[in-house]
Amino acid sequence: MSRPRIGLTLDRPAEGARYELGLAYVEAVEAAGGLPILLPHAAGLATEQLALLDGLVLSGGAFDIPPELYGEARRPACGRLDPERTAAELALLRGALASGLPVLGICGGMQLMAVAAGGTLYQDLPADAGLLGHEQPAPKDAPSHEVEVAPGTRLAALVGAGALAVNSTHHQAVRTLGAGLVASAVGPDGLVEAIERAGPAFALGVQWHPEAALRHEPRHLAIYRGLVAAARRG
C-alpha cells in the first residue's frame, strides 16, 4: 500500500532568504506511515499544491499571526509577522477544509485554524492574560507541563483522555474558539491547548509540538498516525 502524501508547510527565518523545517516533522510523518511533501509559500498555487496531497500539516514557526485577521490592532507585545507565509497557509487551510482533506495544525498552525474559523488569539500571554511559563527553556522537546485531554474527543481517541505531558514553546494562544470548533485539551491554567472541528472530517490542532515531544512520550506519535490514517481513508 502506498504512503499517503502529507504536505508540510515550511518556516522562513527573519531574513527570508531560505526555507527551513525541523527534521522532527518529517520523521514523525514517516514514522506514522506518511510520505512528507514540503510546501513553499505560494498562496496562488494552493489549489495545485492541495491536488498533490492526501493530508496537510500546518507547522509552527517563529512568527505571529497578524492581529488584523481577528479584528484587533497590533500591540507592542505581538511578535514578528510573516504575511506571505500566513496568506499561503490560510489558502491551504481553507482549501483543505472545503474539500475534506485531513488537517493537523501544530502550535501556530492551531492558532491559524482558530482564526480562520472566526476565533481570536492572545497576542501575548504575559501581557494579555498574565500567564507565564509557556515559553520553556531548552531542551524544547522535553515536556514541561500537562494538559487534560477531554473524553469523547478525536484527540482522546488518539492519545487517551486525561493527563498528557506536553512541551510548550509559544507566547500566543487561542483566546476564543471559532465557529464549529471545540476545545479538546486545556492546560492547568485553563488555557486551550488543543482544538478540533466537530464532525467526521479530521481537523485537529495542538498547541504543543508532538513531533518533538514523542521521544519522551511515545503517545504523541498517535496524533500523526491519526492524520495519516485519515489521509489513507481519503
For the chain, the structural domain boundaries read 5-233
- Residue 70 corresponds to which cell in the numbers above? 481577528
Condensed to tens digits (0 to 9), the pLDDT of residues 179-205 reads 999 999 999 999 999 999 998 999 999
Considering the entire predicted model, what is its pTM? 0.95
- Residue 111 corresponds to which cell in the numbers above? 492558532
135 catalytic per annotation: no
Condensed to tens digits (0 to 9), the pLDDT of residues 137-187 reads 778 777 878 999 999 999 999 999 999 999 988 889 999 999 999 999 999
145 catalytic per annotation: no
Q: Which of 41, 78, 107, 220 is catalytic?
A: 107
Q: Which of 170, 171, 209, 220 is catalytic?
A: 209
Condensed to tens digits (0 to 9), the pLDDT of residues 12-56 reads 888 878 999 999 999 999 999 999 999 999 999 999 999 999 999
Distance CA(82)–CA(129), nearest Å, equals: 24
Looking at the domain covering 5-233, what would its CATH class be?
alpha beta
211 catalytic per annotation: yes
Q: What sign for the dihedral angle of Cα 46, 98, 209, 215?
A: negative
Distance CA(73)–CA(133), nearest Å, equals: 25
In the chain, the amino acid numbered 122 is Y
